[in-house]
Amino acid sequence: MTTRNQNDYLHKAAIYDLLANYYKYLNPSLHVMYYHKHLRNLNKAVQLMRSPAVPEIPLTPAMVRFLHGSPGVEKVDIYVNGNRVLRDFSYKSNSSHMQLQPGKYQVDIYPAGDSVSTVISKKIVVEPGRIYTAAIAGPVNNLRLLIFEDSPQTPVGETKARFIHLSPDAPAVDIAGKNGDVIFPNVSYKQATTYLALTPMTVTLEAKVAGTKNTVVTIPDVKLEPNNAYTIVAVGTAKGEPPIEVLILQG
């Protein structure tokens, strides 16, 4: 942009200089007018040349972590834009957050040690400053990479939590305190709740078939500490192996 403006001003200055010289003896008033226009454009070009270039402000990187929530594939290798970022990544594992510059990425996931046939191939978009969990989910014949946005910031002294349902054959569930109120109602497979602000505590939670008192899984002694956010994730299968389990992730 700056180079084009400099050239524009220099081009105009040259034209006005020619006109000023042309009218120098034919019409002195036009000569003076064009001469002043020549000087104004020349001065603007010189000012732009002297102005320091404005540095580009780099965009804040995004942060992405991976979660292996599918029992259908025991271990996988994960590639981002053709570069392997995780090797032998096993079921129920979650990675640390990795930095990615904002933009589009190709994520390819292979069975561990096999770089020929992908089990998941997906394009993702990450935005500046955003934090994500990319979760492998589903049965082996219908694997998916689900993207959830994280929000780990909490007010001082408080805590918060959310729930993600990654058990493909389990019904929608209510998450409730043991013998208490429902915290997250009617959460279906592939859904994530919003974060809920909570008082720091240690609590036993239950996942119940939505709208009933039938407990699917009990989550004992969940420690919700101050100044932390938590993601509670249900994985496994309701009707086979491995059975439903719950993972507690920070963030």
The first and second tokens of residue 88, run together, are 């032998």
Give the span between the Cα atoms of 49 and 2, in whole angstroms. 9
Q: What is the pLDDT of residues 60-101, one digit of tens each?
A: 999 999 999 998 888 999 999 999 999 999 999 999 999 999
Q: What is the pLDDT of residues 194-214, one digit of tens each?
A: 999 999 999 999 999 999 999
Give the span between the Cα atoms of 243 and 235, in whole angstroms. 8
Number of neighbouring beta carbons within 10 Å of residue 71: 21
Q: Give the pLDDT score at 34.
A: 85
Compute the C-alpha angle 111/250/62, nearest 5°.
Answer: 70
Give the span between the Cα atoms of 78 and 62, in whole angstroms. 18
Check whether 110 has a pLDDT greater than 90.
yes
Q: What is the mean pLDDT of residues 205-232?
A: 94
Give the span between the Cα atoms of 109 and 120, in whole angstroms. 5
Q: What is the pLDDT of residues 113-167, one digit of tens each?
A: 998 899 999 999 999 999 999 999 999 889 999 999 999 999 899 999 999 999 9
Of 106, 103, 62, nearest to 83 by C-alpha is: 106
Check whether 1 has a pLDDT greater than 80.
no
Amino acid at 13: A
Q: Give the pLDDT score at 54.
A: 59
Of 247, 208, 249, 204, nearest to 231 by C-alpha is: 249
Of 209, 197, 245, nearest to 71 by C-alpha is: 245
